[in-house]
Amino acid sequence: MWYNNILETIGNTPLVKLNKIVSDIPATVLAKIETTNPGNSIKDRMAVKMIEDAEKAGLLKPGGTIVEGTSGNTGMGLAIAAVIKGYKCVFATTDKQSKEKIDALRAFGAEVVVCPTNVDPEDPRSYYSVSSRLEKETRNAWKPNQYDNLSNSQAHYEQTGPEIWEQTEGKITHLVVGVGTGGTISGTGKFLKEKNPNIKVWGIDTYGSVFKKYKETGEFDKEEIYPYITEGIGEDFLPKNVDFDVIDYFEKVTDKDAALMTREIALQDGIFVGNSAGAVIAGLHQLKDRLKKDDVVVVIFHDHGSRYVGKMFNEDWLRERGFLKDEKLTASTILAKRGAQETVMVDEEKTVLEVFNIMKTLNISQLPVTQKGMVVGKVTEGDILNALLENPSVKSDSIGRIATSSFPFVDANASIDRISSLINKTNSAVLVEDSDGKIAIITQYDIIDAISSK
């Protein structure tokens, strides 16, 4: 048996029992592993459904261009379908999305426009507004609008819900899903509740999103909207695909808990999945007191971990955000071990000879160069020597003439691995801005000293 094209392989994803990661949760927890879809995400299901419904309605015509605002996964599903069906794709996305997601979209020939995250949906710079503008400017274009296009939730009503019901033999008691566009939880939940009205449907939300408060109070509170890191869930508006009547309860999860739990799923149960999966499992742990031994909980693992290797699976990224603290040396601990030490810097107007005398007096071999108090470059003994050998009269010139590019700056939480990777023949040190806004310098000697005294 074979498939006629890759789109025929979408769906019928496995349901896998979780073990170590949910060992303190009394219920049986099963994960719907949507990474086995060709685009490695659940969004393949609704992407094809939206396209097929648009074709039937005459909205998407042969040779047309699909224009959409996407966090990456929907775009991937649309791009794969476009390759098979002969459409072009133009996507608008946000600058908080991982580079891997954006590169993956471009791999399928899509044009990707990156927009700022921290703007209102109505702002002309938002990815919602940009995608709408691109649709108007592009000939023979169609915008799926995954947030309000009810083909999204219908795909899950027709596919995901029936699959879960059959795979659990109707024993499912709880469905727990991260909520973004709302299509997955609403379509799947609607089908399952039609089969058994007692099934509980819980949505996982994030801080900075409006869903939980709106569900509980009916109030759309703009004051609780702020930028957040968690990808794939939460919104700052109310998509039409979010059916609040289907969703019984929302639980919020912090960016930190979602990120760290994403890593733990791989470490404990060997499943390499994305950020929304981490949020769901973190939320489930927060809700464990509501569960009983005989409950059968199904969670959705939306997408693959490969799209987050530069983020949740990168220790330096986690440390920079204060999410990960371990015994590994960081910039701040190296400075603490060294003790208080004023960083000597020289203004670019000082002469080469003056700077050399400072180095000689203080017995240091490199100095940051400033302009009006801002670091704009660096100078080393080698730079001065090379300049004097070429032209001895340069000693009277300003140091700015021979200064080279600045030492790289690192965050105070940057790991020793990150710092060491930046120190090389070109850069003999790195700069760190401490909590008081003061600039400190870390040299190779400081790193060696910190390691040897550990």
Active site residues per annotation = 43
Question: Angle 73-85/99-107 helices, nearest 10 degrees?
Answer: 10
Task: Identify whether the C-beta of residue 398 lies closer than 8 Å to the C-beta of residue 348.
Answer: yes
For residue 386, give both structure tokens: 């090379």
Q: Which long-range contacts does 407-413 make (Cβ < 8 Å, 24+ apart)?
A: 407/366, 407/368, 407/375, 407/378, 407/431, 407/441, 409/433, 410/331, 410/442, 411/319, 411/320, 411/331, 412/330, 412/331, 412/332, 413/319, 413/320, 413/321, 413/322, 413/325, 413/330, 413/331, 413/332
Where does 108-210 have alpha helices with state H?
A: 127-137, 151-158, 160-167, 183-195
Question: Which amino acid makes up residue 160?
Answer: T
Task: Identify whether the C-beta of residue 91 lies closer than 8 Å to the C-beta of residue 98.
Answer: no
Residue carrying structure tokens 């503008």: 133
Task: Identify whether the C-beta of residue 115 lies closer than 8 Å to the C-beta of residue 92.
Answer: yes
Alpha carbon of 262 to those of 259, 272, 305: distances in Å?
5, 8, 8
Q: How far apart are CA 146 and CA 152, in angstroms?
A: 6
Between strands 296-301 and 346-347, the pairing is unpaired
Q: How far apart are CA 444 and CA 393, in angstroms?
A: 32
Q: Residue 251: which of 291, 281, 295 has the closest Cα?
A: 281
Local structure of 397: helix, strand or coil: coil
Residue 237's CB is within 10 A of a number of other CB atoms, namely 16
Task: Identify whether the C-beta of residue 274 lies closer than 8 Å to the C-beta of residue 309.
Answer: no
Burial class (CB in 10 A: 0-12, 13-18, 19+), 24: exposed
Where does 138-290 have alpha helices with state H?
A: 151-158, 160-167, 183-195, 211-217, 255-269, 275-286
- The H or E element containing residue 88 is strand 88-94
Residue 381's CB is within 10 A of a number of other CB atoms, namely 15
- The secondary structure of residue 409, as a DSSP letter, is E
